[in-house]
Structure 1
């Protein structure tokens, strides 16, 4: 496992992290807690020291599972959580001192800790990035000792650029994968200049880039890949990176020809992300120890050559760019 600096925190975190949305059990089909706990332990055994969760993943269930592991393996991992999506309605006005403090207190209880390692605003409305009072609340939470550092999780590149104008934002979590090139062109250089960490979320495009999904794949009713393909429940970009399903499958079939003989499609997709030194970590989800071991092994793959990178971009430019590039 390799490690990179997370912003200006002084932490070095694994280039492959553990995304804990799936183990919440509310948006990716059925889960089993014993298997989820074993998967987290497998991640740590593989050198992963960064876990990303949120207070709404399973209504706190994901955080509580992580807390069980933390009790057994204290001091080994950095846990990032998120706040804001509990608001109903989810409006910019809700990002106030009272609500954010209450969300933090709840996550502290769920994670059974005295301070949150990294608190991230959870894809707030765009207006929030023009509200300095929100970031003053976060600064106060740091000063109070409830939060060590803070960052943001965003939907769009323009939101990421606005966020890093606030001097104490340490990280930006943004969708970045073989079907999302815009961050390379419009965000990475700015983040590097300000020493802001980048957490690449949805790195496998909701499983599309695993190479295991086909036109005949069935998704459970509780799986967002069934009910959110057109943004019915939350931002469309969260599901298959906002790419039309059939077009995404076509792109994956063409990308498959670029996969090294010693790698899976998913490992190739993760290794591609790590070719960009602006990225601190990729945070794929995993529901089983086997998936986690395979994800972690992506960090050990030989770097991709220039020809492979160019061919991957050509597929993006032809099939995907017209669909998503300007939207997010």
Structure 2
């Protein structure tokens, strides 16, 4: 597994992390024992980054990770968490007193005195531009509640605003073969500033798993059913904002371009982490087999996938650029 510096934290991170939104139930139910098996398999495969948020299952994801950390005290794992979506996303809620409350709750859930990395969870643009927000975050670093902070964003413009802040250690943004806009300006700016880029939704909510057809259906409690058109939160979080049927067809073309023996998700993840400026991709996994398969992409270079980058650019230009690029 390749490792890279996690931006201004100075820590080392595996290039494949583990996203744990699924532990909260928004992808269908995941039993405790399955969550622990996923974390065990990830760590055994060299994954050293478990990404979570206080809103995933209203703390269930954090709590499961905290229990796993307690059972594995020698594990070399960094845990970025996120805060700010358990309340209305209005600028008035992003104040020091709330930050203190949210951080203390996450510290208890994760059983950590000092959070490794806390990220504002896709706040309004006005929050990302507010000097007082960063003063409050700096105070949390100063008192030892958090080791570092970052921002998870929806748009490239929000990412650039966050990257310009000297205390921001990381920016989390959607980046995958169907969402290329961060390559234009965000990745170059992050490289220049020494800010980590965590690529979330790297498999486009499963479109780049190679498993879906246009007839695939999802459970009612799965966000791929209830948020397909942005009904509950930003549409870009579900299938990267692309129409499901178009995404399925583009994924079929992506799969057809791969050499024998390379799975669609492994190729998609390898492409993401090959982009200059990306620190890590954070795919989710619902079972140990998926976790191991995802981790294997961390040692798969693009030299084993000739022509893949050209394929990605072509698919994006034909299927998604006109509708996706201007929005995020």
Q: Specify the TM-score bucket, using the shorter chain as the normaliser.
A: over 0.9
Could you list the runs of 5+ residues in structure 1 that have no partner in the other structure? none
TM-score (norm 2): 0.97
Using the TM superposition, name which of 256-265 and 56-65 deviates more: 256-265
Using the TM superposition, name which of 302-311 and 271-280 deviates more: 302-311
Number of residues paired by the alignment?
326
Contact 2:269 2:297 (C-alpha < 8 Å) held by counterparts: yes
Q: How does 1:1-328 map to 2 (within 5 A)?
A: 1-25=1-25, 27-75=26-74, 76-87=76-87, 89-304=88-303, 307-328=307-328
Shift of 1:306: 5.9
Could you give the per-residue CA deviations for residues 146-190 of structure 1, whole angstroms, max 9, x where no partner exists? 000000100000000001111010000000000011000121111
TM-score (norm 1): 0.97
Q: Distance in 2 between matches of 1:319 and 1:63?
A: 37
Could you list the runs of 5+ residues in structure 2 that have no partner in the other structure? none
Contact 1:54 1:62 (C-alpha < 8 Å) held by counterparts: yes
Q: Distance in 1 between matches of 2:109 and 2:50?
A: 15
Shift of 1:17: 0.2
Contact 2:80 2:116 (C-alpha < 8 Å) held by counterparts: yes
Q: Distance in 2 between matches of 1:171 and 1:189?
A: 14
Q: Distance in 2 between matches of 1:138 and 1:299?
A: 32
Shift of 1:8: 2.2
Q: Distance in 2 between matches of 1:297 and 1:306?
A: 18
Shift of 1:253: 1.2
Contact 1:8 1:196 (C-alpha < 8 Å) held by counterparts: yes
Shift of 1:130: 1.6
Q: Distance in 1 between matches of 2:111 and 2:315?
A: 46
Shift of 1:260: 2.4
Contact 1:260 1:268 (C-alpha < 8 Å) held by counterparts: no
Shift of 1:82: 0.4
Shift of 1:315: 1.1
Contact 2:19 2:283 (C-alpha < 8 Å) held by counterparts: yes
Instruction: Provide the alpha-carbon RMSD of the alignment.
Output: 1.0
Contact 2:4 2:15 (C-alpha < 8 Å) held by counterparts: yes
Shift of 1:307: 2.8
Contact 2:274 2:301 (C-alpha < 8 Å) held by counterparts: no
Secondary structure of 1:209's aligned partner: helix
Using the TM superposition, name which of 118-127 and 209-218 deviates more: 209-218
Could you give the per-residue CA deviations for residues 212-259 of structure 1, whole angstroms, max 9, x where no partner exists? 111121211100000101000000000000001111111111111222
Q: Distance in 1 between matches of 2:128 and 2:69?
A: 33
